[in-house]
Structure 1
């Protein structure tokens, strides 16, 4: 997909992907067999007029597809821009990100040698076992305007930024280290609704004693989780806020919020 020189520049410059060459090599070694296996299974699963492997031969280099996906996730670069940079059609970038993103999500988040968190339930259990405070927040990424006639087109309009966007819920530890990033939802989905759909309320209510700091978008979850979600006080409580709210206000000065993507555009596909 991309030339050797360009690939070496992307891998060697940590400002592009924020990953070292060694970590990228580990990704390729770990995800390569899974990607090849799923690709072959996809070819064999549908009715075919020709045998698997017939037809035009595409240059399917996993590292190029991985780099395109990492750049898209890191900087929110549109598929059109990546297609120009990698010298391919936009549909190739869309297909590449669609293949690699599920593999990265299933791989999970490595927080220490031998400890890898893949699901939200595992993150809650880890915070409970380690006695750490979690921080949850929603982040939006601007996307291209969906095609005219698409039924759910209006659901991508963010009520906060008044633009087309997709939203993800991010959960970090008290030091701001990323532990979980949810699949994206259309921008009109409220933060608290997204958290409920992901099962955060049930995990906190039935799971270990974990304290989660959240912003005003999650007000109401505290009552549903036994005050395990701490949010800022309502306006009428600012002077005489309950203990939990006062703790939030004091902790907010020292906490590190989850990283929020910039205003660059990305494709909803």
Structure 2
């Protein structure tokens, strides 16, 4: 006999519950505003349709290389479209995004790659001197994917096995990753600065980033279609979750 009339048959189930995750925001914005501009990078404009497709391609290509739930994908990238795509494509697989501070020295980057057990590293050739030195210090080298940002005019070299755009070309634009099974799954791994000794790993989960994303929208009164000028590095606390909050509002 149930304790009261509401204690029977009203628990969570597939019909009335889904885990909280910020990964639902991009497919929604792409479905409602496919032709709206999502990203402006130099003279290039990327629509929400393309943003969603590129993020799916990234997830698909990584999945084909055996990346899945619980695997760490590290990035050493500036604020470029690939960094945004990684915030959506990497955790769609259940993998964990580790955005590394581009201003760190080689020893610290090597420590983070090793401590976080990175299986993949996406890196901009702008940082190749430091990243090359960091990779040389590792006992196990991750799969290295080079990003050749057209806006970078300085020196740099490719260090990896494949270039980012070539990787995306191998992925499927309509890729459907398995749904996130638990909102307490990790979505991102960040590392502290300003502490003694080595940086400390901080794990974000899907629920926490969803709450932070919605909190940003409410506290900053972000309107639909807002234009956000990136000054905060996306490697800093995942850009305070703005990669998800601006996307949720179909902003730029």
Please give the TM-score of this superposition, normalised by the length of structure 2: 0.26
Structure number, greater radius of gyration: 1
Please give the TM-score of this superposition, normalised by the length of structure 1: 0.24
The answer to which structure, 1 or 2, has the higher relative contact order (CA under 8 A, 6+ apart) is: 2
